[in-house]
Amino acid sequence: MTLIDNAVYVDGIRVATPVTLDEAYALQEAHQGFAWIGLYRPSDKELASVATEFDLHPLAIEDATGGHQRSKVERYGDTLFIVLRPARYDDEHERLDIGELHLFAGPDFLITIRHAESPDLSAVRRRLEAQPELLSLGSEAVLYAVFDRVVAEYEPVVAGIENDIDEIEDDLFGDADDDALSRRIYELSGELVRFSRATYPLVSIIEWLQRGQEAYHVDIELQRKLRDVRDRAIRVTERIDGFRMVLDKALTVHSALVARRQTEVNLEQNEQVKKISSWAAIIFAPTLIGTVYGMNFDVMPELHWEYGYPVALTVMIAFPTLLYVLFKRRRWL
């Protein structure tokens, strides 16, 4: 069912809970009250119904129908069309779930259209219904409460990302797999980019609304509450900027550590090659002499010389010894 909650309020008190859109229109007119209609992925027919009843602009309805909109605020006469991008963070899989919330706010109505599970608007409604004096301010009060809820749901996302960054920093100098760690840093950086696209426009949206508060005589306390939400949203964006800097540095440090470890491996391999080459050279000399004199030829140099055998043995011992000393001094062995 796409109609999640539907209520008509008078002076902040719920006076009716219509079960259909047509009933909501009739009861709002009968009570001359404020209608708050909550929809979840409504059909084209339902959107056409509210568009006709509240004279919503076709372009705004087109955006609400298609979804996949960026965060923004637009004014069509006395009606505001606002798109927000709430977020939730799946810490186990390090994945960010970005939702989409559309709001139509008029003098005597507010329509919320959710395209995801987030945010929890039922909690927003319960909070406002527990404060009739605030809800009696109409659509401005509901907008404030929705903004407040969206920013409140950003804060656990910030905490989850911060926890993952702490783990990455611990893994940088640990025994983590280099490829896995690089992939984790890269993917978390991508999630931060998506998160920033959801959060950054919210600050501009609130500031845009604040510029029109005097002209539309918005309650002073409500102005202060909205300013507090903006300040919290700014803190979220500042944290995101800090996270992106940390991840950039982490990727740089990780690359340097990987390069250093690779250099150490190469150096170790070079040392091993030196040792193998040195021993091969040492063994080569006596092997060569022994091989030559192992040939069964009658006419060979010094074959019948009286001192040939001891000289050959001496050379076979002296030459490898000399090579060993030279390699040792050069620290090849």
> Which domain CATH number covers 127?
3.30.460.20
Co-location of 240 and 270 in the same domain: no
152-to-9, 36, 88, 286 alpha-carbon distances in Å: 25, 22, 11, 82
Q: State the pLDDT at residue 276.
A: 73
Q: In terms of Cα–Cα distance, which of 97, 111, 102 is closest to 35?
A: 111
- Is there a contact between 21 and 43 (Cβ–Cβ < 8 Å)? no
Q: Report the largest interatomic distance among the alpha carbons of the chain, rounded to a whole angstrom.
A: 134
Q: State the pLDDT at residue 301.
A: 62
Entry field: residues in the chain: 333
The residue from 259, 275, 294 where one domain ends is 259
Co-location of 195 and 280 in the same domain: no
Which residue positions in the chain have pLDDT lower than 50? none
Co-location of 206 and 276 in the same domain: no
Co-location of 186 and 291 in the same domain: no
First to last CA, the chain: 80
Q: State the pLDDT at residue 232.
A: 95
Distance, CA of 270 to CA of 260 (rounded, Å): 15
Co-location of 207 and 295 in the same domain: no
Co-location of 126 and 246 in the same domain: yes
DSSP structure string for 182-211:
HHHHHHHHHHHHHHHHHHHHHHHHHHHHHH
pTM of the complete model: 0.76
DSSP state of 244: H
Co-location of 275 and 297 in the same domain: yes
Co-location of 129 and 231 in the same domain: yes
The residue from 244, 259, 274 where one domain ends is 259
Co-location of 216 and 275 in the same domain: no
For residue 302, the number of C-alpha atoms closer than 13 Å in the C-beta half-sphere is 10
Co-location of 155 and 278 in the same domain: no
Kindly state the tokens that stand for 271.
Answer: 């040392």
Q: State the pLDDT at residue 4.
A: 82
Q: State the pLDDT at residue 266.
A: 61
Co-location of 171 and 26 in the same domain: yes
Co-location of 227 and 198 in the same domain: yes
Q: State the pLDDT at residue 300.
A: 62
Distance, CA of 252 to CA of 229 (rounded, Å): 35
282-to-164, 312, 313, 315 alpha-carbon distances in Å: 55, 16, 15, 12
The residue from 242, 259, 276 where one domain ends is 259
Backbone angles phi, psi at 105, to 5 degrees: -120, 120
* Domain CATH number, residue 325: 1.20.58.340
Q: State the pLDDT at residue 29.
A: 93
Q: Which residue range is the domain that position 168 belongs to?
A: 3-259
Q: What is the number of structural domains in the chain?
A: 2
